[in-house]
């Protein structure tokens, strides 16, 4: 099967996942127009944009680091976002300013982490990729420790809010938030596609890419900021939803190969399908209760990733 045919299959899977998400929920199969429009459509659109965005970020960062185990949260962006949200909840900002302030807190934390990693990883105008990875991991550990400290001194109601956000959810977001996520996904995908040839060259190594005429420093900074900002928007909108940016690009490369002209659009489509399907599963696995979608992506993604590793070793 050629890549074009495979991509058509991926589009069919996406359309099917969108239909299931709109028609199935904790109440069973129901296409009531009000239910679909008011409850299911917003979270379906958010799942599509966040899943596609996290998967796209994973592709860009794995291409930047030339490491298939790097994911959008490796640089500590999710940790910074979660820390700011946790502090905001403890300070009762959602109660005084409304829960609409939470995405702003999350993005502020993500942006602070992005700038910190960038500044500490840049020396004499050169972005040191290996230092950036190590600094990001350390910031992630520091953020996790501070979050645990905040949780340890929090009241029960505040603790519940922090845990609920950290586990990830596509529920209860505003139309404005959804519009921002979709816009960022479209812009990010367009920008990423401008660098497909440079990404393919970077796979050979930085020196080889330079010999092929690639401005490696500009490319590294463009990839870092594009992937980081997409991740920041996704995390601030839905909380921490793991494994999408790690598992999906990995499987896409197994199925479609390593040409970023195909990997980028296929990852966006597949990431959207994966998260939408996981959210649908989270709504129907133990009705009428809904599980956090981050739990489903972690379990399903982890099993799939282990399966892929075992298959490659056979």
The predicted structure's pLDDT at residue 311: 73
Q: Inform me whether the pLDDT recorded for 314 exceeds 60.
A: no
Q: Residue 292 is inside which H or E element, if any?
A: none
Whether the pLDDT of residue 165 is over 60: the answer is yes
Tens-digit pLDDT profile for residues 91-102: 989 888 877 789
Average pLDDT over residues 173-193: 93
Question: 205 or 53: whose pLDDT is higher?
Answer: 53
Global pTM reads 0.93
Instruction: Report residue 198 as tokens.
Output: 């440079």
Q: What is the DSSP letter of 24?
A: E
What's the domain range around 247?
3-313
Say if CB 249 and CB 59 are below 8 A apart.
yes
**DSSP letter for each residue of 35-83:** HIIIIIHHHHHHHHHHHHHHHHHHHHHHHHHT-TT--TTTTSHHHHHHH
Residues above pLDDT 70, as percent of the chain: 99
Domain of 101: which CATH number? 1.10.3470.10
State yes or no: pLDDT of 35 exceeds 90: no
* Number of independent structural domains in the chain: 1
Q: How far is the CA of 199 from the CAs of 228, 231, 248, in angstroms?
A: 17, 19, 18
Structural tokens at position 31: 């296409």
Calculate the average pLDDT of the chain: 90
Q: Predicted confidence band at 313 (pLDDT cuts at 50, 70, 90)?
A: low
Query: For the residues 286-302, what does the mean pLDDT come to?
Result: 87
pLDDT recorded at residue 10: 95
């Amino acid at each position: 099967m050629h890549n074009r045919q495979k991509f058509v299959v991926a589009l069919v899977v996406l359309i099917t996942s969108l239909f299931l998400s709109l028609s199935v929920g904790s109440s069973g199969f129901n296409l009531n127009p009000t239910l679909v429009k008011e409850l299911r459509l917003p979270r379906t659109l958010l799942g599509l944009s966040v899943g596609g965005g996290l998967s796209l970020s994973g592709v860009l960062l794995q291409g930047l680091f030339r490491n298939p185990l790097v994911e959008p949260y490796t640089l500590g962006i999710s940790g910074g976002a979660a820390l700011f949200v946790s502090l905001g909840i403890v300070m009762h900002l959602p109660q005084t300013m409304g829960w609409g302030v939470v995405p702003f807190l999350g993005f502020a934390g993500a942006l602070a982490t992005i700038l910190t990693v960038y500044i500490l990883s840049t020396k004499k105008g050169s972005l040191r990729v290996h230092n950036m990875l190590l600094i990001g991991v350390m910031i992630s550990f520091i953020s996790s420790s501070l979050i645990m400290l905040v949780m340890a001194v929090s009241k029960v109601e505040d603790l519940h809010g922090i845990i609920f956000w950290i586990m990830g959810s596509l529920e209860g977001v505003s139309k404005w938030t959804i519009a921002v996520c979709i816009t960022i996904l479209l812009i990010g995908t367009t920008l990423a596609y401008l660098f497909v040839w440079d990404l393919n060259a970077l796979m050979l190594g930085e020196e080889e890419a330079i010999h092929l005429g690639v401005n490696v420093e500009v490319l590294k900074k463009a990839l870092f900021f594009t992937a980081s900002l997409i991740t920041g928007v996704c995390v601030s909108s839905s909380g921490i939803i793991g494994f999408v940016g790690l598992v999906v690009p990995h499987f896409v490369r197994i199925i479609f190969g390593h040409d970023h002209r195909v990997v980028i659009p296929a990852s966006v489509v597949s990431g959207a399908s994966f998260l939408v399907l996981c959210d649908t599963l989270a709504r129907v696995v133990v009705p009428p209760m809904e599980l956090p979608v981050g739990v489903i992506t972690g379990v399903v993604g982890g099993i799939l990733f282990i399966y892929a590793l075992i298959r490659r070793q056979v």
